[in-house]
Amino acid sequence: MYQAIVFFPLLGALIAGLFGRVIGDRPSEIITSGLLILSALMSCVAFVDVGLNGETEKVKVLQWMHSGALQIDWVLRIDTLTAVMLVVVTCVSSMVHVYSIGYMSHDGARARFFAYLSLFTFMMLVLVTADNFVQLFFGWEGVGLASYLLIGFWFKKPSANAAAIKAFVVNRVGDFGLILGMAAIYFTVGSLEFDTVFAAAGALADGQLEFLGLTLPALTTICLLLFMGAMGKSAQFLLHTWLPDAMEGPTPVSALIHAATMVTAGIFLVARCSPLFELSDLALAVVTVTGAVTAFFAATVGLVQNDIKRVIAYSTCSQLGYMFVALGVGAYQVAMFHLFTHAFFKALLFLGAGSVIHAMQDEQDMRKMGGLRTLVPASWFVMIVGTLALTGFPFTAGFYSKDAIVEAAYAAEIGPHMFAFTLLVVAALFTSFYSWRLIFLTFYGLPRCSNETLSHVHESPPVMLVPLIILSIGALFAGFTFYDFFIGDGQAAFWGSSIFTSAENHVLHDLHKVPGWVKLSPVVMMVAGFTLAWVMYIRRPTLPTQLAREHDLIYNFLLNKWYIDEIYNFIFVRPVKWLARLFWKGGDGAIIDGLGPDGIAASVLYVTRRAVSLQTGFVYHYAFAMLVGIAGLVSWFMLTGGQ
C-alpha cells in the first residue's frame, strides 16, 4: 500500500507526460486525478493505522547507492509524522487535480500541466517518506524542479519565466546550506541514515567541527545549515522573495505549492530533525526569531497588496513564520498541527480566489472587483469559510492550531520567546485586517469592473466547486476533530517516536495553562482587525486612499515589500550583471575572441584565402607564373653581375 501511495502519482505523471498527446487531454486529466484520489484514500487509511499504534514501519523499495562506507537504500519510513504529511499532500493535491479539470479547461496543454502536477506530488511524497538525508534531498530537489516547471508553465509570458528562474535560484541558496549540513553530518557521524544520525545527537552536542581553520560546535552548526535549507524552501525572511512571484503560475499551482507541498518541506525537515534541534538552544533561538520576523514582515506587506493571489501568498509566508516559531520553542507537535489545518484553509483560499479570477475573466486586481457576493455566491461562501479559519474564528481549524502557537510562544522558556509572542499577536491583527480587506474589496460594495466584464461573471462549474466544499469541511472541522491527537491528551500515543522532545521540554504541557488574557489575545486581534477593515472598506471607503496619501512613505515602504527586492538587485543582481558583462565584452569578446577567432585565426584565414585564390587550375596561369619567375631570376643575375 505504501509503495502505491508514493508511486501512483509518478505513474500518472509518466502516462500524461509521455503519452498525453496520444491519448488526449481528457484521459490525461482523468488518469492523473484518479490515481491521486486513490493515493489520498490509501493515505487516510495509513493515517488511521499509524496514528492508532504510533509505531514506525520501514518498507525497502530498492538498493540505491553503495559506495565504500556510504550505504544508501531507498526505504519508505512510515511513522506518524510521515502519515500526517501523506494525508496533507495527497488530499490537497487530489483536490487541486480535480479543480484543475475545470479551471484549465480552455488551456491547450492540459496533459503537460497534469503531468507536472503529479510529478510535483510524487517528489513531495519521496521527501516525506525518506529514511535518510539523501532520499530526502532527492525529493527536496525534485519539488524544486517541479516548481520551476509549474511556475513557468505559461512560458510565453516573460514574467512567468522570470518568476520560475527566481524561485529556482533563490532556493539554490538555501539548498547550498542543506548540502553543507548533510556533508557535516556524514563527516562527523559517518552515516546519513536518520536512525544512526539521531542516535548520535548526544555525541554531536559535545563534539566540534573543524572548517576553514575554525572550530565550531558540531550540532549547532549542522542544525543552522539544515535550517538554512528550510528557510529557502519555506520562504522565510530574506529567502522569501520567490514566493509572491510564484503567483505567475496558474492558480491551482499556487494552491498546491503554498498549501501542501513545497513550502511545508522546511517545516517537515525541522520536525523530522527534532532529535538534533532539541539539543541546540542557539539553533532553536534562531528558528524562533526568524519565524517571528517572517510572520510580522509578511503580514505588514499583505496589508496593502492589491493582487488577490499575492495577498494570500503573503499570508502563507506569515503562517509559515508561525509554524517556525512553534518549532523554535520546542512545540513541534503544534507546528505540525498548524501545518495540517493550514493546508485545508489555505488551499481553500487559493482555489476560491481562482474561482473569482475564473469568473472575472482572469482579472486579479481587487481594485477592479467589488459587488460579487450575489453573482458568485458559492465562491463567496467558501472564501468566507477560509477567511474565518485563517483569522482564527472560534471553533474553526485555525482557532485551534494558530492560537496554540501563540500560547506556546508565551509558555516557552527559549530566550526570545516573548519577542516571538509579541510579533505573533501583532501579526494576528494584521492577518485579520488584510483577510477581511480582501473579502470586502472583492465581494462587497459597488462593482468596479467594466460592464463587459460584469456581464460575463458566472459561478464556477461543479468540478471546481466540489473540491472547494470538501476543503471547506476541513477548514471548519479539522482543528476540533484532531486537537486531542495532535496536541491534546492523546498526543503522546499519537506521535510515538516520530517527534523527539527532551525531558526538560514542557511547552506542550504548559501552553494549556497560560493566563486567560494570552488565550484571548488572538481572538481580540481578530475582532479588531475585522472591525478596522469594515470601517475602512465598508463604512468609510475613501479612508484608505486618504491614509495612503497622508502616510505615503509607510504606504510605499509596505507596497514595495520593504524594498528587499530592490536591495538584492543593488547588492547582488547589478554587480553580477556588471561582472558578467565585463567578462563577456572584455574577457570573452576583446581578449579571447580578439586574439583568437577575430585575431590570429582571422589573419591566417585571410592569408589562406588569398593564397588559395592563386591556384586557379589553368595551365596557362601556371606557365605565366613560371615565366615571371624565370624573368625575375634573369633580371636578378643581370643586376648583380652573376654574384
Distance of CA 422 to the CA centre of its chain: 26
Tell me the pLDDT tens digit for each residue of 190-201.
889 999 999 999
Q: How much is the pLDDT for 108?
A: 81
First to last CA, the chain: 104
Say what the pLDDT of residue 497 is. 85
Longest Cα separation, the chain: 124
pLDDT at 122 exceeding the cut of 90: yes
Alpha-carbon torsion 327, 330, 332, 335, what sign? negative
Can you give the pLDDT at residue 636?
80
Predicted confidence band of residue 118 (pLDDT cuts 50, 70, 90): very high
Residue 643 pLDDT class (50, 70, 90 cuts): low
Of all residues in the chain, the percent with pLDDT exceeding 70 is: 99
- Cα–Cα distance for residue pair 418/424, rounded to 1 Å: 10
Mean pLDDT estimate for the chain: 89
What pLDDT, in 10s, does the model give residues 45-85? 988 888 767 778 888 888 888 887 788 889 999 999 999 99
Residue pointed to by grid coordinates 479551471: 103
3-class SS of residue 236 = coil
The string of DSSP letters for 80-110 reads HHHHHHHHHHHHHHHHHHHHHHHHTTT-TTH
Mean pLDDT check: name the lowest of 18-22, 156-160, 202-206, 448-452: 448-452
Q: What was the pLDDT predicted at 238? A: 87
State whether residue 137 is helix, strand or coil. Answer: helix
Q: Residue 109 and residue 91: Cα distance in Å, rounded?
A: 24
Q: Would you put residue 15 in left (φ > 0), alpha (ψ -120 to 50) or beta?
A: alpha
Model pLDDT for residues 300-325, shown as the tens digit of each residue: 999 999 989 889 989 999 999 999 99
pLDDT score recorded for residue 95? 92
Quick one: average pLDDT of 18-22? 89
Q: What is the pLDDT of residue 260?
A: 66
- Candidates 2, 45, 30; CA nearest to 118 is 30
CA distances from 92 to 86, 187, 257 (A): 10, 38, 10
Is residue 445 predicted with pLDDT exceeding 90?
A: no
Q: Which helix (H) or strand (E) holds 60?
A: strand 57-67
Look at residue 641 in the predicted model and tell me its pLDDT. Answer: 67
Residue with cell 559517518: 190
* pLDDT, tens digit (0-9, with 9 covering 90-100), for 488-539: 888 887 888 889 998 888 898 889 899 999 999 999 999 999 999 999 999 9
pLDDT at position 562 over 60: yes
Output the nine-digit C-alpha cell for 94.
487530489
How many CB atoms lie under 10 A from the CB of residue 25? Answer: 21
d(CA 490, CA 408): 18
Alpha-carbon distance 413 to 465, whole Å? 45
Rounded distance, CA 141 to CA 123, Å?
8
Q: Residue 132 has what DSSP assignment? A: B
Q: Does the pLDDT value for residue 439 go beyond 90?
A: yes
How many percent of the chain have pLDDT more than 90?
A: 49
